[in-house]
Amino acid sequence: MKKLCFLLLACSFFTLSAQQLESPSKQIQVEFSLDAKGTPTYSVTYKGKEVVKTSKMGLSLKEDTALVQGFSLVNKEETNVDETWNPVLGEQSTIRNHYNQASFHLLQKETNRKLDIVFKVYDEGVAFRYEFPSEDAVRYFVVSEENTEFNLTGDHNTFWIPGDFDSQEYVYSESKLSEIDNSKLDLNNGIALKSIESKYRVQSPLMMKSKDGLYLNIFEAAVVNYPVMHLDVNTENFELKSKLVPNAVGDMAYLRTPSVTPWRTIMVSDDARDIVASKMILNLNEPNKIEDVSWIKPMKYVGIWWEMHVGKSTWDFAGSQNAQNAASQELVPSGKHGATTENTKRYIDFAAKHGFDGVLVEGWNVGWEDWFGNWKEDVFDFVTPYPDFDLKEVSDYAKSKGVKMIMHHETSASVANYERHLDRAFNLMKEYGYPAVKSGYVGRIIPRGEFHDGQTMVNHFNYVAQRAADYKIMVNSHESVRPTGYSRTYPNYIAAEAARGNEFNAWSSGNDPKHETILPFTRLLGGPMDYTPGIFEIKMSVYDPEKTEQVHTTLAKQLALYVTMYSPLQMAADLPENYEKYLDAFQFIKDVPVDWQDSKYLEAEPGDYLSVARKDKNSESWFLGAITDENARKTEIKLDFLTPGKKYKATIYADGKNADWEKNPKSYAIKTRTVTSKTKLKLELAAGGGAAISIVPIN
Amino acid sequence: MKKLCFLLLACSFFTLSAQQLESPSKQIQVEFSLDAKGTPTYSVTYKGKEVVKTSKMGLSLKEDTALVQGFSLVNKEETNVDETWNPVLGEQSTIRNHYNQASFHLLQKETNRKLDIVFKVYDEGVAFRYEFPSEDAVRYFVVSEENTEFNLTGDHNTFWIPGDFDSQEYVYSESKLSEIDNSKLDLNNGIALKSIESKYRVQSPLMMKSKDGLYLNIFEAAVVNYPVMHLDVNTENFELKSKLVPNAVGDMAYLRTPSVTPWRTIMVSDDARDIVASKMILNLNEPNKIEDVSWIKPMKYVGIWWEMHVGKSTWDFAGSQNAQNAASQELVPSGKHGATTENTKRYIDFAAKHGFDGVLVEGWNVGWEDWFGNWKEDVFDFVTPYPDFDLKEVSDYAKSKGVKMIMHHETSASVANYERHLDRAFNLMKEYGYPAVKSGYVGRIIPRGEFHDGQTMVNHFNYVAQRAADYKIMVNSHESVRPTGYSRTYPNYIAAEAARGNEFNAWSSGNDPKHETILPFTRLLGGPMDYTPGIFEIKMSVYDPEKTEQVHTTLAKQLALYVTMYSPLQMAADLPENYEKYLDAFQFIKDVPVDWQDSKYLEAEPGDYLSVARKDKNSESWFLGAITDENARKTEIKLDFLTPGKKYKATIYADGKNADWEKNPKSYAIKTRTVTSKTKLKLELAAGGGAAISIVPIN
């Protein structure tokens, strides 16, 4: 399956005329060059149009000469790769990795220092990284900034969130590049901790659309032992520059030879579906390092979680997160504690009855009375349950019902404390048979001075995945670094939040109706998201008449999200009693798989709509999700991905008549019909609506 | 054993006239007062002489009103305590804790904030601390500086080391207060990492002597969840002010109510012996928190360690700490690796033959090729031995010989990495039966930006002691925070280095001859020191004719250090082959206990001399150590501490004729004689010399 050809230009120290490299399809061309000062530069064209103008490359170092100029080309290697691999879990069972590669071996004469710049050109985009090869002496060095430019050719329409070093939990702003300005954002958005240092800094993945209809995406892959890259935008000339996230003392990355940076990626296409369907980010990561993957399994789960978000119960045992109670020796129960043995059994019963794999319980362990906001080092110990939560009884009961328990580790961002207790915490999970953990990182990081997105924390998140693999534990992290494909390397790092999830709809301004049409073009490119869809009781007024918060979708769109928001770990986030009221709609959540043979992106426009069909990993059934933004939408879907000649029963969970995310969100209609590969399916999506369809072979 | 009387002045908000408190002996008087601005102040007199002038007290807070003025006295409580307790290991089997206490309950009206200042006055000194009592609401607050003054009355002679946030491994400078100036120090002293920010900052314990013969010592006790206090010296008016060690973001301490600061201590006497003999620092710590202490045992040990310091072998397997080797996949042995199975067996044999409890092996685990100087996070894993060190074979062999193995954990100051691996490291120790660990913290701290002496690291060192107690492991830490009596609370924290140890004599300017006469007045006040005495081959030229380094004592003084430098963990640091050459002198090291029934400080003058006699914990034998500085010294010791009427055989290990630390250090003479409680023993100590005496009952 692997085709590899090698070409070595042995001409040493030749003067560099511009070097070209193109994608297998020949539609993307990259030009690499050294300018008069010996500064590396690159530019990118797509179908003959320039999409990235000549842009400089390089790195500034803390104690050494900057790696920005004075380079000459020693030699160049070219390779073509066309191979396939099989993810443990995924949107498709086979992934093709097909690119042309060029490695430019540079020498900085003044310092006698080597630097390699390696390009991989895929059909959907360009990736490059810096490599620091082995030298005669091992070199330690500190990166003080990365000076990678992405000089764009126009004032593109852009989907952006501010360059916050601690949070990505923002709704996307849609504006021209020239209009980016963090100081104009409404920051009353429910995010507890914000670290925005610059008006013109945004995060990647940065999704854009040019005036002439090209879709552009700037991101990175394989962020390992390196900080996250944000982007500083020049709003006048549309030049973007890398901005790494610093550590407590202002350094960016501690490296030694040999090592590499993450890949910097520029995806480009005139078809938005090429961006959302791309597996380039995964491909750019190292292959799976876990030998035995038999324990890595997809999971659909319910849990004691949404009931806290809506105010029905509390995480803490003694009151509503009241530090005063925590100070006293004896906690007095408030009666509102969610994670009781009894309530957990209720969820286990519900999971067993409806065929869910797992039950998550948050708030099971002591510490929630005083867990947040005080930059406190010792918060949770991850092993001591509240007196009303019996670990053994719960896990025995779950086992008797064939349901797996999902552990919860809120760290309060006290990472030092979490690492101290990690082995004890994982041992407890093994003792009681918990196969997966949801971790949380709410608050200011300890070690103090570190940001969520710095090298220290990148290393932490990757370490937890590695250590969890030693224990055969799957990890789903919240408030963590956004993924950049590391789940290829550690497939037990099964999901992350790392973007604005559904929970914000319960108690803040929430997520606007276009939010879920943007995430597949941004956050999801790096890996699965635990978005926690499936909220049926859309309006929070059902819990308290004074509440005005609501989920910004229709009920049908909540169903569609199980298909549009890929994750092998999916929650049915609403309360069991709410699902009991809408069992016909709930049937879709029960039926939809979370691991796939294949995925077909049928329609895609960032900020507007998305339609995707996926084939169950273990059957011939297909599932289709279609969503729209705040605008109602009519569409016709061709089912030509179905096996020709085969008949299927389609069950269509659609928005009801007059459905509307704001005025009438719970209106839905379920229809069934027989379909074939020739069927064209007309769908009408309400404002903020969607449709979910199961397509099951007949015999 | 506990006498306690209580006195509550219930008069609320009375105007404060100066409040007096005195020591049980009435020789020390403290006056506490609120000045016109409501600022707390104190002063101290000794035998009617003022020793600390009116000095302000208080703390600056990061986000709240400073706790420095605007206070009124709400009430005052007084208590007298006279109790005794029995340390698990110690210089004496029973310790008396006898003091008068006054608690001043203050209220800052502007903020409605409570602050307590508590004094304990002992016969040998004053202690006070700030207490933040429970309030209606739990308060979190950040200490941005402590403003405790120690305003001295004259230009005292002072023994000081610079206020370095990362190291205490300095020789002491002896000068007047007015002459303190870090910028004039010769810093070519072998210390790898120095963090000195101010010319006039010194560390505590700060030992002083006034012109009129008073001995003064400023220190602190029970540094728990708080940074180390250094002292800023005003060299013109002799006023000293507290300077806390900051963390990575410049904060000093994160506290919440209720909590307390460490005790600030001022010892004073006209007899220097009262300072060295004091148990005040231990008394000010919380009682033992470990229930079962049966596994906490004193240890005399040998080990693979000095041979690396003298260059005979290396810590690393592949070469002389050469990172290039570390980068290659296969380490090529240099042939000089010290920690081989074979060499370890040699030390085990030697330990068994001569009755030592333990064998330390440094350099047993992979990582030493590239362990230092690059602020590298992943250094050691604490579980993987080098290929030439067989953990099982070594531990089985040690067991068969009745010898305990001592584990070694060099962290390279990558504390984040150590805490990650701590459980695995301790589990390995339990698996192979290692009862104790020597840990090391050489280099810049990770989490980056932290200092060795900040709150983060204080918490780390205390955490390791606590976690080790869970595993029934004893801890001996090097390059750690200097102890402040925490070994009372966690007696498994059996020793620390935390000052300039004997090793500096092997490869640097070394420790001047008066060094060991100062340490008992400074470093040792806080707890046992693993000084690693017992070097017989004084001059390094024995290993390499070109070496000029040497130990700055005579051989006999090396023996005396086993008595003068109290530690329940003592190394016989020299090589077995060196001891074999001087077996008659070695006999003292074999005989000397490391845990005591009683200790009598017979003579003491900081920087000049020290003589101490100690009684074996488990017999009627006494051991006496006498040391001097660079000056030869004649003295006569009265043995009136011996049981009257009883005869003893004294074996006197004295400096030989013409012995001199520099010119003739190995000259020693061993004599025996019969002694009684009436004997007056004449001793002649050479320049840089000492005498060691065992006094064993005859029948």
- Residue-wise pLDDT for A155-171, tens only, equals 999 999 999 999 999 99
What is the three-class DSSP state of B266?
strand
Cβ of residue B424 closer than 8 Å to a chain A Cβ: yes
pLDDT surpasses 60 at A8: no
- Chain B's closest residue to A424, CA to CA, is B423
- The nearest alpha carbon in chain A to B251 belongs to A448
Q: Which of A257, A327, A449 sits opposite B138 (nearest CB)?
A: A327
- CATH of residue B263: 2.70.98.10
The catalytic position among B149, B307, B503, B537 is B503
**A248 touching chain B per CB within 8 A:** yes
Question: What are the mean pLDDT values of chain B's consecutive 10-residue runs (699 residues total)?
Answer: 42 64 98 97 98 98 96 97 98 98 97 97 98 89 98 98 98 98 94 93 98 98 98 98 98 97 98 98 98 98 98 88 60 91 98 98 95 93 97 98 98 98 98 98 98 98 98 98 98 98 97 98 98 98 97 98 98 98 98 98 98 98 98 98 98 97 98 98 98 96
Instruction: Report CA dihedral (B180, B182, B183, B186) to the nearest 10 degrees.
Output: 110
User: B375 and chain A: CB distance < 8 Å anywhere?
Assistant: yes
Strands A596-605 and A569-571: unpaired
State the Cα–Cα distance between residues A612 and A599, nearest whole angstrom: 7
Task: For tokens 């693979």, name the residue.
Answer: B304
> Nearest CA to CA, how far is B421 from chain A (Å)?
9
Task: ipTM value, please give it.
Answer: 0.94
Strands B157-160 and B173-176: antiparallel
Q: Is the peptide bond before A593 cis (omega within 30 degrees of 0)?
A: no
CA dihedral sign of residues A182, A187, A189, A192:
positive
Residue B499 in domain: no
Listed by number, the residues of chain A in 303-342 with a beta carbon closer than 8 Å to a beta carbon of chain B are 323-324, 326-327
In sequence order, the β-bridge partners of residue B351 are: none
Confidence of residue A182 (pLDDT cuts 50, 70, 90): very high
B82 CA: distance to closest CA in chain A (Å): 29
pLDDT at B328: 56
Which residue among A323, A424, A450 sits closest to B138, beta carbon to beta carbon? A323
Provide the H-helix boundaries in A190-333.
Answer: 272-277, 280-283, 306-309, 323-327
pLDDT at site B3: 46
Q: Does residue B271 belong to any structural domain of this protein?
A: yes
- How confident is the model at residue B461, as a pLDDT? 98
pLDDT > 90: percent of chain A? 94
Predicted confidence (pLDDT) per residue in A594-649, tens digit? 999 999 999 999 999 999 999 999 999 999 999 999 999 999 999 999 999 999 99
- Chain B hits for A374, Cβ within 8 Å: 140, 254, 256
Of A370, A165, A149, give the one whose Cα is nearest residue A239: A149
Beta carbons of B247 and A138 less than 8 Å apart = no
Stretch A57-77: mean pLDDT, rounded? 97
Given a cut of 60, whether residue A401 has pLDDT beyond it is yes
On the CB side of B682, CA atoms within 13 Å amount to 1
Q: Which residue of A has its CA nearest to B323?
A: A138
Active site (annotated) includes residue B286? no
pLDDT for A326 equals: 60
Its sign, for the CA torsion B371, B372, B374, B376, is positive
Of A137, A326, A423, the CB nearest to B423: A423
Question: What are B148-188's pLDDT values in tens digits?
Answer: 999 999 999 999 999 999 999 999 999 999 999 999 999 99
Are the Cβ atoms of A449 and B249 closer than 8 angstroms?
A: yes
B402 burial (CB, 10 Å; 0-12 / 13-18 / 19+) is exposed
Q: Which residue of A has its CA nearest to B426?
A: A423
| A21 in a structural domain | yes
Angle between helices A415-432 and B415-432 (to 10 degrees): 40
Note whether B420 contacts A: Cβ–Cβ < 8 A: yes
Question: What single string gives the DSSP state of each residue in A637-683?
Answer: EE-TTSPTT--EEEEEEEEPTT-BTTTBTT-EEEEEEEE-TT-EEEE
Per CB-CB distance under 8 Å, the chain B contacts of A257 are 327
Nearest to B254 among A251, A375, A463 (CB): A375
d(CA A690, CA A671) in angstroms, rounded, equals: 14
Cα separation, B568 vs B483, whole angstroms: 15
Identify the closest residue of chain A to B418 by CA–CA distance.
A420
pLDDT band at A477 (very low <50, low <70, confident <90, very high): very high
- How high is the pLDDT of residue A318? 87
Cβ–Cβ below 8 Å for B447 and A424: no
Concatenate the DSSP letters of all residues of A9-32 into one string. Answer: E--TTB----EEEE-TTS-EEEEE
From B378, which residue of chain A is nearest by alpha-carbon distance?
A: A459
CA distance A53 to A33: 12
Residue that is last in its domain, among A259, A283, A307: A283
We report the CATH number of the domain holding residue A557 as 3.20.20.70
**A420, A421, A470, best to mutate vs chain B, most B CBs in 10 Å:** A420
Taking only the tens place, the pLDDT of each residue in A532-557 is 999 999 999 999 999 999 999 999 99
- In this structure, is residue A93 part of a structural domain? yes
Provide the domain limits for residue A188: 2-283
Q: Is residue B133 part of a domain?
A: yes
pLDDT at A699: 78
How far is the alpha carbon of B374 from chain A, nearest alpha carbon, in Å? 7
DSSP-derived pairing of the beta strands A596-605 and A609-616: antiparallel
A250 touches B: beta carbon within 8 Å: no
From A258, A448, A459, residue closest to B248, measured CB to CB: A448
Task: Report the gap between the CA of A206 and the closest CA in chain B (Å).
Answer: 31
Per-residue pLDDT tens digits for B573-619: 999 999 999 999 999 999 999 999 999 999 999 999 999 999 999 99
- Which of A283, A315, A342 represents a domain boundary (last residue)? A283
Residue B392 lies in a domain: no
Q: How much is the average pLDDT of A374-380?
A: 94
**Of A582, A584, A616, A583, which is closest to residue A599 (Cα–Cα)?**
A616
Of A225, A255, A283, the one marking the end of a domain is A283
What are the chain B neighbours of A448 within 8 Å (beta carbons)?
Answer: 247-249, 251, 447, 456
Instruction: Answer yes or no: are the C-beta atoms of A629 and A517 closer than 8 Å.
Output: yes
Inter-chain CB pairs, A–B, below 8 Å: 88
Q: Look at chain A and report how many structural domains it folds into.
A: 2
Angle formed at CA A325 by CA A324 and CA A326, multiple of 5 degrees: 90
- β-bridge mates for residue B696, sequence order: B649
Q: State the amino acid at position B382 in one-letter form.
A: F
Q: Which two tokens stand for residue B531?
A: 């000084």
Tell me if B181 is assigned to some domain.
yes
The answer to whether residue A327 sits within a structural domain is no
Q: How far apart are CA B492 and CA B294, in angstroms?
A: 11
B261 close to B129: Cβ distance less than 8 angstroms: yes
Residues of A annotated as catalytic are: 503
pLDDT digits (tens, 9 = 90+) for A256-274: 999 999 999 999 999 999 9
